[in-house]
């Protein structure tokens, strides 16, 4: 059974739909971990999640707390602006029954979209399938036992998803599911698609070269 863990911070605009889409057969529980929202996020989540708890702000810290409270055999970490596809739980369960699979992620699509954003999503999916490195927007899932053995997410201000993916690759195989999650394109549209692409690839390259997540956070 799957525990869905959703870190939030001022996500009142879309959190209800995110949680409703996550409530599918095969999901044991939905846990929202709020990092200090000042809007109606917590109130909206209480009617749709099985548990709503608080944690110091920081996505990695929030997700680790949710994992500690979860009881499912599989942990799925869902960003609060990402919608899961129909049948996602069955797909995750089937993937995790395969020998050697320790976790995985979904392909993504960006919404609202445009030709350039469709190309962006294609490149993200291709890069992830080739490298077996996932981003949090792709709804990373992992066997609970493996997650605990690895010590959970590194509580760093940026690149926690990439860092976990690196350790998961050493632990076993990652499933790259072709079902698509729908992630808000608000970040790309707000700052400009090309500018955001260049920034994200630059940050990732600097991270691989050894620049600390703390320094990268300042650039982000």
- Look at residue 196 and tell me if it is in a domain: no
Please state, rounded to an integer, the average pLDDT across all residues of the chain.
Answer: 92
Domain span including residue 26: 2-183
- Look at residue 34 and tell me if it is in a domain: yes
Average pLDDT over residues 48-70: 97
Most confident of 19-28, 155-164, 191-200: 19-28
Average pLDDT over residues 168-173: 95
- Look at residue 189 and tell me if it is in a domain: no
- Look at residue 59 and tell me if it is in a domain: yes
CATH code (residue 46): 3.90.550.10
From CA 198, how far away is CA 24, in angstroms rounded?
Answer: 36
- Look at residue 110 and tell me if it is in a domain: yes
C-alpha pair distances (Å), 213 with each of 57, 164, 209: 16, 13, 11
Are 136 and 63 spatial neighbours (Cβ–Cβ below 8 Å)? no
The residue ranking higher by pLDDT, 214 or 111, is 111
pTM over 0.95? The answer is no
- What count of residues does the chain have? 220
From CA 1, how far away is CA 29, in angstroms rounded?
Answer: 9
From CA 111, how far away is CA 178, in angstroms rounded?
Answer: 17
- Look at residue 141 and tell me if it is in a domain: yes
Are 53 and 33 spatial neighbours (Cβ–Cβ below 8 Å)? yes
- Look at residue 32 and tell me if it is in a domain: yes
- Residue 219 pLDDT: 64
Which tens digits make up the pLDDT trace of 79-88? 999 999 999 9
- Look at residue 218 and tell me if it is in a domain: no
* Count of domains for the chain: 1
């Amino acid at each position: 059974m799957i525990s869905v863990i959703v870190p939030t911070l001022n996500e009142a605009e879309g959190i209800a739909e995110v949680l409703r889409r996550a409530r599918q057969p095969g999901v044991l529980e939905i846990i929202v971990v709020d990092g200090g929202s000042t809007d109606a996020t917590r109130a909206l989540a209480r009617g749709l999640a099985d548990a709503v708890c608080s944690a110091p702000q920081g996505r990695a810290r929030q997700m680790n707390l949710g994992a500690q409270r979860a009881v499912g055999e599989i942990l799925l970490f869902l960003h609060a602006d990402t919608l899961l596809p129909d049948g996602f739980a069955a797909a995750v369960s089937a993937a995790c029954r395969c020998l050697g699979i320790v976790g995985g992620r979904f392909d993504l699509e960006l919404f609202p979209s445009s030709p350039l954003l469709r190309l962006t999503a294609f490149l993200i999916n291709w890069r992830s399938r080739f490298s077996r490195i996932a981003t949090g927007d792709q709804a990373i899932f992992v066997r609970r036992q493996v997650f605990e053995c690895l010590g959970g997410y590194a509580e760093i201000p940026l690149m926690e998803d990439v860092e976990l993916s690196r350790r998961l690759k050493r632990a076993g195989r990652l499933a790259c599911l072709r079902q698509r999650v729908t992630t808000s394109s608000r970040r790309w549209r707000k700052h400009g698609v090309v500018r955001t692409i260049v920034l994200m690839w630059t940050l990732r390259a600097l991270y691989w070269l050894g620049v600390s997540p703390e320094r990268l956070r300042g650039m982000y």
